[in-house]
Amino acid sequence: MTKIKADDHNRDTGFGQHAPLHKVLPALGDPRPVSVAVKKLTERLEAGDVDQCPCCAQTVKLYQRKLGSVMAKGLILLYHRANEMATPGPIHITEYFQSLGKKSGVPSSALGGGDVSKLRYWKLLRRVMGERADGSNRVGLYTMTDLGRAFVRGLSHVPSHVHLYNGIVVGWSDTTVDVHDALGKKFNYRELMSR
């Protein structure tokens, strides 16, 4: 049985708050040399370099993820599914897209929830935490946020890109997109919404 609790890191709906990169980098031992190393590493990551953490030797990179057309289409499909449910609740992304099969138009690489589940970084989806039989807390359940519903209806804009370090949001692009921009020319918004 899955125990459900809210994903705390997605509760804030403002894009102004995120974890500063220098605060998510490791800080071990004597703070003076580590702070110098962290500062240098932060500068290199912000310049787009890939480097090695001086504290743990992990390869580190600042990732820039785009809110793309497949993600936008997946969000629209989830929007319709949420509206069809008799009782609103979490949706298991993988099971839902697999039930649609090829007609979903969502690539098999995204069926595991991969790209679509990343919409949580834009606060369009909220991950529902729980516990699987194997002890993992990733149960594949998501709910749509108010911002996600507004985005699908064309009533809001979000940053076009999210900046991630080790799976933690450290910033967003200044450029914003609406659902039409995110879908691009690959998918037709009217057709997707006329279900």
**Domain extents in the chain:** 5-16+64-193
Residue 183: closest CA among 109, 64, 75, 65: 75
State which of 4-18, 68-82, 136-150 shows the largest mean pLDDT.
68-82
Please tell me the predicted confidence (pLDDT) of residue 79.
94
Overall pTM > 0.85:
no
Which of the residue ranges 39-43, 107-111, 131-135, 145-149 has the most confident prediction, judged by mean pLDDT?
A: 145-149
Listed residue (118, 171, 74) closest to 82, CA to CA: 74
Which range among 38-47, 63-72, 109-118 shows the weakest confidence by mean pLDDT? 109-118
Q: Which helix (H) or strand (E) holds 126?
A: strand 125-129
110-121 pLDDT per residue, tens: 554 578 889 999
Mean pLDDT over residues 52-60, rounded?
78
Q: What is the pLDDT of residue 27?
A: 52
Following DSSP, what letter does each residue of 63-99 receive, concatenated?
EEEE--HHHHHHHHHHHHHHHH-SS---EEHHHHHHH
